[in-house]
Copies of this chain bind each other. A is one copy, B any other.
Amino acid sequence: MNAPAPPSATFILTLSCPNRPGIVAAISQHLYERGANITEAQQFDDTGSRQFFMRIVFELARKEGLLHTLRTQFTDIASSFSMSWTLTDTRHRPRVLLLVSRFDHCLVDLLYRWRIGELRIEPVGIVSNHPREIFADVDFYGIPFHYLPVTKDTKAEQEERIWSLFTHSDAELAVLARYMQVLSNAMAARLSGRCINIHHSFLPGFKGARPYHQAFSRGVKLIGATAHYVTSDLDEGPIIEQDVERISHADSPDDLIRKGRDIERRVLARAVRFHIERRAIMNANKTIVFTP
């Protein structure tokens, strides 16, 4: 009689390093020797920067302390190739801090996807510069809410409180789900690579305020939305995902705002998904996205 197979664990390895021959051979040999079965692998050679990027998904029989062991074992190979790398157990649900202003469509959409198990995150808090009453009709499912109003004078202090929430809740990702405040350079730097924003235009068109009104005035025939990593350079962060919809001369700015809501929420949800599945990897001012 066979003993039942031990439950299998699945890991995601991402890495980047200067390109040179032998990287794939070394990594795949390393994983093979440990009995890993590679189920997904994607790579990208940035011929401009001569930097190499890779994402590998592999399975192993689950056992106590396996992730720690794998990380320790990978250290040597990583340093010999000067790699930046991450290794994640897919059972791990990243802790996420959600920030929102008045418009709740992106927030509600993310919470829905989380609730039905589509988005494997662990929301640790919802921050808004508007009070809880604004969201009276939204069920937060027990996620702590933090009302952190902000003015020019209190911005530094308010950001300090956000940062404190982020760090004390062990959050790995902040999502600006239509949080209509510009982060300070210092705050953007602190959250670099760990903060995704949804901009309600097809960047680089219509930067700045009221992009749907700008689009209406310019008479474009498609409008869009852009999810990007937040950097200190406003509206210039590395783009993760974009999408568009067709409009016509008969669409008012309000029609654009309505159509835009649908674009924004699906673009942001895809970007968050790419991030937590470690498909999105920042590469200077761009983002590599290893789509399935």
Contact = CB atoms under 8 A, between A and B. Distances in A.
Contacts of A32: 21-22, 24-25
A41 B43 contact: yes
Contacts of A285: 218-219
Contacts of A250: 40, 44, 292
Contact of A137 (B115, B220, B249): B115
A219 B239 contact: yes
B222 A203 contact: no
A118 interface: yes
A3 interface: no
A21 B224 CA distance: 36
Contacts of A164: none
Interface string A247-263: 01111100100100110
A71 interface: no
A140 B224 CA distance: 31
A249 B281 CA distance: 11
A213 to B, nearest CB: 12
Interface in A212-257: 218-222, 224, 238-244, 246, 248-252, 255
A41 B24 contact: yes
A5 interface: no
A222 B222 CA distance: 12
A220 B249 contact: no
Contacts of A206: 204
A108 B104 CA distance: 14
B40 A40 contact: no
Given A25-B28, A118-B261, A219-B239, 10 more contacts: A21-B35, A21-B36, A28-B28, A28-B29, A41-B42, A47-B252, A218-B239, A248-B289, A249-B289, A250-B292
